Each structure stands twice: as C-alpha cells, then as structure tokens.
Copies of this chain bind each other. A is one copy, B any other.
Amino acid sequence: MSQTRSPAPAGSSQLIRQLNAQRVLSCMWGREPSTATELMHATGLTRATILTLCRDLTEQGWLEVSENSRQAGQYTKGRPALRYAFREDACHVIGVDAGLHQVTAAVANLRGVEVGCATRPSNPQGSDAPLQPAAERRRTVLDTVDAALGQAGLTHADVACLVIAVPAPVDSDGRSPKGLNAFWSLMNPELITLGAEHGWDCAVDNDANLAALAELDLQSSGPDDSFAVILSGERLGAGLVMDGRLLHQARGGIGELGMLDLVQGVESANGLGWWARHLAREALSRTPGHSGALGQVTAEEVTSEDVFAAADAGDQLALEIMDQLADRLARICVVLAGLLDLDRILVSGAIAPALTDVAARAKEKLAQHLYAPWLQIEASTLGAHAVRRGAIRLAVDRIKDQALHPGPAA
C-alpha cells in the first residue's frame, strides 16, 4: 500500500534548514555586514551551520561577501573572518501614494531607501470638478511609476513588488467596495491588476494603514507598543497597530471613522484640514473686517495653510480655530485610546507638520475625558511622506516573506 503524504515534498527535515535560513536572513536584512561569529551569537547556531547557510544565501543572491574583512573588525589577530553583507539591491520595490489630487511613486532598494521618486497630478483641486475616470487614473499611476524608475535608472525587470496606497478601504484582495461609494471605486479602479502587466507582485492598501506601517518602521518605542495613526487631510482615516501588528480585516474597513458622526464635539469624519478651512470661512464671514493675518484672504479663498500660517503669526482668530481643532482631536483620541488602550496617537499626513501645537494641546484637553497619562499625542515627523514610506515598507516586507520560497530576481 502506498503511504499517502501531504503535498510537502520537503522531507520535513529540510524544514528546519528553511527555518534557520530565514533566521539568518532576518538577522542580516537591512543591517551592516556580519561575520559568522556574530551570527553564531545572534542565532545560537554553530559556525559550520552558519557558514553553509551563508553560502546558500549567497548563491541565492541575498547575500554577498564584502571584501573589507578586517578593516571594520575590532580585532587584529588571527585569520580574518569572512564578512557577509546583505544585498540591498538584489531587487527593488515601488511604493505609490495614490492620493486624491496627486500620485507619488518611489523606487526603493530592499533596505527601503528611495533611489527614485516622481509625482504627477491626478484629480483637479476644485471640489466640484469631476473625478478622473478609471482608465485615466490607472494610466496616471503607471506613468508616475515609470518616471520614478527612469529617475532611478532602473528598468521594469529590476522591480519585484509594487504597493499602492489609496484613500479608500481596501479588502484583502486589494479591491475597494463597489457601487456603495463611487469615490472609492474611482480612487482604486482595480489598481491591483497593474502589477500583473510587468509580472510584479502587487498589493493595494488603505493609505492610513500604510501610514501606520511607516510609523511602525521607525521603532520609536518597543516592538510591543500599540498606536493609532490618524491621517487627517480632507477626510479622516486611521491605521491601528496593536502589539506591534497592523490590524487588518478581510473587508478592509478597519480604521474607517464614519462613526465619529456620533461623537459629541466631533460630529463628522471630516479631516482637520477641512475643519480649519471651514471654521476660517465661517469666522471670516462673521467678522468681515478682521484685521489680523487671516484677514488678508477672503472667506471664499481661505485655505487650511492660511490658517496655520496665521496662527504661527499670532493671529487671534486663527489661534481660536487651532484650539477648536485640538478639541476635536482630543475627542477623537478619547474614543480611540479609551477603547483600545493605546500607547500613542500620531497625527500624520501632509498637514502634520503644522499640527505639532494642536497635538500638544489635544493631549492637555484629553484629561478632561479620559485618565491616560501614558498616552502620547504627537504630530508625525513623516508628514507627507508617511503613506509612501508605508507602501515601501509593505513592499519590502512582502519580498522578505517571499524570500527563500522562490529565489530572488537575481
């Protein structure tokens, strides 16, 4: 009788080889070159094992021997050790921030360092102008990607993975809800299929989720911390990291903040940028002859940037608006941190740099509603780059996960 066996052709002893190879590669990924002795301490494996693993990984294209064997070393006696270096250019990835008004694409190496970047306008700024049709938006994304590749001096064949961030919920297949909300479909017109054109691995995800991944990459605190990233431009979106893991659901609706309609003092999921403009317009039409810095613009033309600039200049009206923004933010933080017991909340997005004081003020106001002295509320230092950085991070992670199952592009 034949012994039926599961489809695993690996003799189940090779599994441990895979496992150890993964451990070694993890130790070296994106790090400085290492000697076998260093890896022995890091992994607990023997020298003989480490060296064979490194040889294998070198053959597969993930590592290379760096010549400066002893220059970097701290010792001077004995036979110089081989130094294996992570090949950060074994292949490249592309991260795209496909925002409402502009698309930014960056090419990065496996360390996540950008080697090329390009931006193209997408939809016009006027809020009543029609949105780009699906085909046009797809072309915009591809054009931006090609421009970034050109700047990096790389070709399609050098790329292994493409990740696209969109301002819409995205399910686990990379699709956004259809019909329900035309905006979402137009933001993500089946972008997941773009990767197939060049044979790239491809993923699409929500912009706030990816911004959260980018913050996770910074390792500002321990690996177990939990935080939310609030992406706050015109609309609000949140990405949630719990215990160092990005929360994700099959439907992709996590972090949608429509429920803020029900929260007192917030009453909408409009972003802080939207509110800044809205409150300024309202205030300016109430007091037409405002003499401060904010009085330089008309109620119809005022933008959030005007408000932030006026607040910087000490304009009283603008400062009051900032205080109202802080109040809104504080209440949002109460909901998120109260329910999820977060360690910190980061405000991200293009307007983040202008919100440092608002975040600090929100932290003060928080105590009115919630006892959470440990909670940090801060403006992200990544600002407008957060989403794109997160896309790159996810792309690199995907390559890392795929490593050692097939070989790399080399």
Contacts and interface: CB of A to CB of B under 8 A. Distances in A.
Interface of A: 3-8, 12-13, 15-16, 20, 40-41, 43-47, 169, 180, 224, 226, 238, 242-243, 247-259, 261-265, 331, 334-336, 338-341, 369-371, 374
A249 B243 contact: yes
Given A3-B47, A370-B258, A335 B338 contact: no
A254 B335 contact: no
Contacts of A243: 247-249
A261 B366 CA distance: 13
B226 A259 contact: no
A265 B263 CA distance: 9
Contact of A44 (B5, B20, B45, B265): B5
21 contacts: A5-B44, A12-B44, A12-B45, A180-B371, A224-B250, A243-B248, A243-B249, A247-B340, A251-B341, A252-B341, A254-B340, A254-B341, A255-B339, A256-B338, A258-B338, A258-B370, A259-B334, A259-B335, A262-B263, A263-B335, A335-B335
B180 A253 contact: no
A6 B50 CA distance: 14
Contact of A334 (B40, B251, B262): B262
B6 A262 contact: no
A222 to B, nearest CB: 10
Contact of A338 (B242, B248, B259): B259
B5 A46 contact: yes
Contacts of A256: 338-339, 341
A3 B7 CA distance: 38
Contacts of A16: 12-13, 15-16
Nearest to A332: B262
Given A341-B252, A341-B254, A335 B262 contact: yes
A332 to B, nearest CB: 10
A20 B226 CA distance: 33
A6 B335 contact: no
A254 to B, nearest CB: 5
A370 B249 CA distance: 17
Contacts of A257: 338-339
A256 to B, nearest CB: 6
Contacts of A47: 3
A248 B245 CA distance: 12
Given A16-B16, A249-B341, A262-B331, 10 more contacts: A4-B41, A12-B44, A238-B339, A255-B339, A256-B338, A256-B341, A258-B338, A258-B370, A262-B335, A263-B263
